[in-house]
Amino acid sequence: MESRKIISMIKELAGDSPFVSIYEDETGLSSEMEKELETRYKQVLKNPTDGKSWDEVKTDLLSR
């Protein structure tokens, strides 16, 4: 599922940052969270030029 890829990218970006905490329980994401992530993913697919690529976001955040 795409939501798992998104979580993986967030974890990669967060690294050892003291400002970002990621909590996962044994049951994973709630069904509401999965729906929201899927909705956002579909929006990106429909409008790919509205945002930035993962590489652009990552470069921007790591350059701060």
What pLDDT is attached to residue 26?
A: 57
Residue 51 is classified by DSSP as: S
Q: Which parts of the chain fold into alpha helices (H)? A: 2-14, 31-46, 54-62
What pLDDT is attached to residue 20?
A: 73
* Token pair belonging to 48: 């790919």
What pLDDT is attached to residue 12?
A: 82
* Token pair belonging to 56: 């652009």
CA–CA distances in Å: residue 44 to residues 2, 47, 52, 55: 12, 5, 10, 15
What pLDDT is attached to residue 27?
A: 61
What pLDDT is attached to residue 24?
A: 60
5-62 pLDDT tens trace = 887 888 888 877 777 776 665 567 788 888 999 999 899 889 988 888 889 999 999 9
